[in-house]
Structure 1
Amino acid sequence: MSDPAADASSVPPGSAPASPPSGIPTVTRGGRGSLVGGGVLLLVVVLLAVVVPYVVTLGVLSSLVMLFAFVILGTTWNLLAGYGGMVSVGQQAYVGVGGYALIQLADAVGAPPWLAVPAAGLIGAAIALPTSYLVFRLAGGYFAIGTWVVAEVFRLVTMRIDGLGGGAGLSLSAFRGTDRVERVAFVYWFALALMVAVVLGTYLLMRSRVGLGLTAIRDDRVAASSLGVAVDRGRRLVYVAGSAGAALAGALIALSTLGVTPGSIYSVSWTAAMIFIVVVGGIGTIEGPLVGAVLYWALQQVLAPLGTWYLVVLGGVAVAVVLLAPRGLWGLVAGGYQLFPTTHRIHRVAAGAPVVPRTGR
């Protein structure tokens, strides 16, 4: 019997290897479709950065800042529920922390707004770390209720601190004397850059070994632990990262609206928006929150003048998507296509097809 290794080494250089007797599986991640989609998405970002600010009104730019904040909120909540398996209904706690931290850093400390926003995100992460040791003692529905209770505690404590304005809230004075056009343009470009950074950061995280471990934790915590995955550390990482993202969005909201009040910045409507964005767009995908945020923002712009009917329509859309498209709008439209490829696919080469040697990593 001949040695296959010897036969392979005896093939003359430059000649095509023999056809395999059976299909050979190959593993790929992404492909031409993902590259094309990524190029289209890059073009959209470039248009938003260099064209849109000069062809729309200041009111539209301020509205787009809210869209970017919705993308950040949806993307980071998807980290919690879609990848970490933790359904939190209290992320408004960190939206409020980010808003108040931004104003305190910009007005009381004198930090420039471009530095105060990421610092507010770090403050949200710093508060989320010890809080995680409390809420992680709960599971399932108790965890969801516990996070909401934590958010209410944050709101009540904020209202009792006179230095934070009590029930009246705070106004941002760091932009006092700044031209309105310059202020809105700065906030718009800064929010766009922050949104891109959050989405790309989430994509890189989910491509890493940490992301693989998070997916395993979401599917089966016990099995993941038996395979050596650090379950508690992974869940805490996701909770802290998701809370930091909510704080970043809260800081952007305060930067755009020039003020915060406990009733608005700690409103559960922020978490309701996150849930709508992720569930309707497609939970457990990076693309889903992008689609859901655009839909939520568009419905808000069109239907907000209708008052309570606006909420009725939102609820109807959510119910329809859950019933007709359980994987969300992205799963319904794109099928298995990934604009942000985070998983590998196995392809089998047909028997008799020539084998093309692969080089590099």
Structure 2
Amino acid sequence: MRVASDYVVERWSAAERRAALGAVVLFVVLAAVPTLCSGQVIDKLTTLFVYILLAAMWNLLSGYAGLVSVGQQAYFGVGAYFALRLVSFGIEPYPALLLGALVAAAIAVPVSFFLLRLRDGEFAIASWVVAEVIRILVMFDFLVQGETGTSLIALNSYDPGWRLRATYWFALVSLAGLLFVAFLLLRSRIGAAGQAIRDDEEAARSLGVNVMRTKQTIYVLAAFGCALAGVIWLASAITFLPRTNFGVQWTVFMLFMVLVGGLRTMEGPILGAVIFFVLQEGFGNYGVWYLFGIGIVAVVFALALPGGIWGAIHHRFGARFFPVGERLVRRGVTADISQQVLDGIAPQDGSLKMRPSAIEQNVSSERR
């Protein structure tokens, strides 16, 4: 789009187009993994997909919309619960997994009318309370048997190898689909409105932004993504334990992955999930001390490196793969405002700077 005789607005650079093509190639390669790798590799990658999905959804909600929730485990657990219920009504397991996630998203709609009227700490605490209330209600169901829990026994009717591959492909398609939808949403008016609300809700409302509708759209999508992660976890683990599936540790995991990887970026949660997966594999058996450790690390990153690892990489090298903002380009000179302003990423010292070469050329142009 032409802004002036010397300027254009660029949404994709050549490097970012190559990154998008690389993502498609990676999806194809990952889709072929079950035919090439062992069952252990397939199972580990399925777990990684769950982590990435959770991190991406929490980042969408908290990073881009400013809705810091500590209760997304409600949808992680309730999606799995309704999948179990639907199977008990005679629906095949894999369709029931998807339907369970959709039911969880439907529940998020009326819940959002209450929660989204609250702000900041009130919203965070209320989201946790809602998660606990839902957990207690689920435990009253005789199918769940209280703390004892239950299992998705119907999955045992499938060949173990086929079930492992089917769960993997379901997880891969769910992850790719949700990442793509979130990316499109953030590049749309809703995404821009969500970021405006995050920065100043009253100012956004005064400019005509429908605050409640924007928040609801993002909240329900994030709930659906967390519910999909929950049903994938159920299909992989088979067992359903209310204290585990509704456990607050899932929010701790999400917070860690996003803060370490990079808040308010598309790339950061993916990087954070990979780091978390590696740590989980190496230190997950240490129990509560492990949770304490990753909590401390998350706090350190929030204080010392607020942009996370990917934020630092972007600040140092200007690298980004999946742009949700825009660049102002002047005949080969790029003032990269997209990640710093539209995506909410500022340099680590809190200032906002153009690249020195762009400043120098712009100043010299003005003098002429």
Q: TM-score range by the shorter chain?
A: 0.7 to 0.9
Structure 1 unmatched ranges of 5 or more:
1-21, 352-361
SS of the counterpart of 1:128? Answer: helix
Which amino acid letter does the alignment assign opposite residue 192 of structure 2? L
CA deviations 1:282-323 (Å, max 9, x no partner) are 111111111111111111012223444533542353244334
Q: Which residue of 2 aligns with 1:42?
A: 24
Find the aligned partners of 2:164 and 2:332 in 1 and give their Cα distance: 57
Q: Which residue of 2 aligns with 1:88?
A: 69
SS of the counterpart of 2:94? Answer: helix
Q: Quick one: higher RCO (CA 8 Å, sep 6+), 1 or 2? A: 1
Q: Which residue of 2 aligns with 1:57?
A: 38
Find the aligned partners of 2:183 and 2:30 in 1 and give their Cα distance: 21
Find the aligned partners of 2:248 and 2:332 in 1 and give their Cα distance: 54
Cα distance 1:312–1:133, how it changes in 2: closer, same or farther (>3 A)?
Answer: closer
Q: Does 1:337 align with 2:319?
A: yes
Q: Does 1:349 align with 2:323?
A: no
Deviation at 1:91, TM superposition (A): 0.8
Q: Which residue of 1 aligns with 2:109?
A: 129
Find the aligned partners of 2:324 and 2:62 in 1 and give their Cα distance: 17
Equivalences for 1:23-42 in 2 at 5 Å?
A: 24-42=6-24
Equivalences for 1:309-324 in 2 at 5 Å?
A: 309-324=289-304
Q: Which residue of 1 aligns with 2:247?
A: 267
Q: Which residue of 2 aligns with 1:19?
A: none
Cα distance 1:160–1:114, how it changes in 2: closer, same or farther (>3 A)?
Answer: closer
Q: Which residue of 2 aligns with 1:4?
A: none
C-alpha contact 2:283 2:290 (8 A) present in aligned 1: yes
CA deviations 1:117-140 (Å, max 9, x no partner) are 221121111111111122223221
Deviation at 1:36, TM superposition (A): 1.6
Find the aligned partners of 1:64 and 1:177 in 2 and give their Cα distance: 23
Q: Does 1:112 align with 2:92?
A: yes
Deviation at 1:169, TM superposition (A): 1.4
Q: 1:148 aligns with which of 118, 128, 144?
A: 128
C-alpha contact 1:23 1:348 (8 A) present in aligned 2: no
TM-score using structure 2 length: 0.84
Which amino acid letter does the alignment assign opposite residue 102 of structure 2? L
Find the aligned partners of 1:229 and 1:55 in 2 and give their Cα distance: 49
Structure 1 stretch displaced more, 123-132 or 112-121: 112-121
Q: Which residue of 1 aligns with 2:267?
A: 287
C-alpha contact 2:255 2:298 (8 A) present in aligned 1: no
C-alpha contact 2:262 2:309 (8 A) present in aligned 1: yes
Deviation at 1:206, TM superposition (A): 0.8
Q: 1:71 aligns with which of 27, 49, 52?
A: 52
SS of the counterpart of 1:176? Answer: helix
Q: Which residue of 2 aligns with 1:209?
A: 189
Identical-residue share of aligned pairs (%): 40
- Residue correspondences, number: 328
Which amino acid letter does the alignment assign opposite residue 70 of structure 2? V
Structure 2 unmatched ranges of 5 or more:
334-368
Which amino acid letter does the alignment assign opposite residue 145 of structure 1? I
Deviation at 1:280, TM superposition (A): 1.2
Q: Does 1:231 align with 2:215?
A: no
Larger radius of gyration: 1
